[in-house]
Amino acid sequence: MLRTHTCGELRSTHIGQSVTLCGWVAKVRDKGGMIWLDLRDRYGITQLILEEGKASAASIEAARKAGREFVLKATGTVIERLAKNAKMLTGDIEIRIESIEILNPAKIPPFLIEDETDGGDELRMKYRYLDLRREPVRQNLLLRHNVSKETRNYLDSLNFIDVETPVLIKSTPEGARDFIVPSRMNPGQFYALPQSPQTFKQLLMVSGFDRYFQIVKCFRDEDLRADRQPEFTQIDCEMSFVTREDILEVFGGLTKHLFKKIKGIDLPEIKRMSYDDAMKYYGCDKPDIRFDMKFVELTDLAQGKGFPVFDSAELVVGIVAEKCAGYTRKEVDELTDFVKRPQVGAKGMVYVRYNEDGTLKSSVDKFYTEEQLKEWAVRFGAKPGDLMLILSGVADKTRAQLNNLRLEMGTRLGLRDKDKYEVLWVLDFPLLEYNEDEKRWFAMHHPFTSPGDIEAFMKYDATSPSLGSIYANAYDLVINGVEVGGGSIRIHDKTVQNKMFEVLGFTQEEAQKQFGFLLEAFEYGAPPHGGIAFGFDRLCSLFGGQESIRDFIAFPKNTSGRDVMIDSPSEVNPKQLEELSVAVAIKK
Q: Supply angle C-alpha 64, 68, 72, rounded to 5.
A: 70
Residues 578, 588: Cα–Cα separation, whole Å: 22
Least distance from its own copies to the Cβ atom of residue 81, Å: 24
Dist CA 47 CA 81 (whole Å): 9
Residue 435 carries which DSSP code? E
Min separation Cβ 365 and its own copies, Å: 52
- Shortest reach from residue 62's CB to its own copies, in Å: 14
Q: Which is nearer to its own copies, 309 or 577 (CB)?
A: 577
Q: Please, which residue, 80 or 222, has the CB nearer to its own copies?
A: 222
Nearest-10 Cα torsion for 266, 272, 273, 278: 20
Please work out, in degrees rounded to the nearest 5, the angle formed at the alpha carbon of residue 13 by the alpha carbons of 7 and 19. 45
Which residue number, 1 or 86, has a Cβ lying nearer to its own copies?
1
377 to 167, 251, 357, 373, 427: CA distances (angstroms): 57, 41, 14, 6, 31
User: Least distance in Å: CB of 278 to its own copies?
Assistant: 28
Half-sphere exposure of 508 (CA within 13 A, CB side): 2
User: Min. distance of Cβ 224 from its own copies in angstroms?
Assistant: 8
- Kindly tell me which of 38 and 422 has the beta carbon lying closer to its own copies: 38
Q: What are the DSSP calls for 113-164, one per residue?
A: -SSS----HHHHHHTHHHHTTSHHHHHHHHHHHHHHHHHHHHHHHTT-EE-P
State in angstroms the smallest separation of the CB of 40 from its own copies: 8
Residue type present at position 474 = A
Nearer to its own copies, 76 or 410 (CB): 76
Other C-beta atoms within 10 Å of 307: how many?
18
Nearer to its own copies, 330 or 575 (CB): 575
Question: Smallest gap, in angstroms, from Cβ of residue 251 to its own copies?
Answer: 14
Judged by beta carbon, residue 364 or residue 565, the one nearer its own copies is 565
Helix axes 329-340, 395-412, angle to 10 degrees: 140
- In angstroms, give the least distance from the CB of 73 to its own copies: 8
Q: Which residues pair with 345 in a beta bridge?
A: none
What is the closest distance, in whole angstroms, from the C-beta atom of residue 557 to its own copies in the complex? 7
Q: Smallest gap, in angstroms, from Cβ of residue 13 to its own copies?
A: 20
Q: Which is nearer to its own copies, 34 or 158 (CB)?
A: 158
- C-beta of 34 vs 161, nearer to its own copies: 161
What is the widest separation between alpha-carbon atoms in the chain?
94
Query: In Å, what is the CA distance from 567 to each residue of 10, 127, 218, 557, 561?
Result: 41, 11, 21, 10, 11
**Residue 87 beta carbon to its own copies: minimum distance, rounded to whole angstroms:** 20
The rounded radius of gyration (Å) of the Cα atoms in the chain is 30
Nearer to its own copies, 398 or 514 (CB): 514
Q: For 241-309, give the DSSP string.
A: S--HHHHHHHHHHHHHHHIIIII-----PPEEEEHHHHHHHHSSSS--TTS----EE-HHHHTTSS-HH
Nearer to its own copies, 8 or 385 (CB): 8
| Single-letter amino acid, residue 39 | L
Phi first, then psi, for residue 105 (nearest 5°) are -75, 175
What residue spans of 423-480 are helical by DSSP H? 454-459
Provide the β-strand partners of residue 216.
Answer: 234
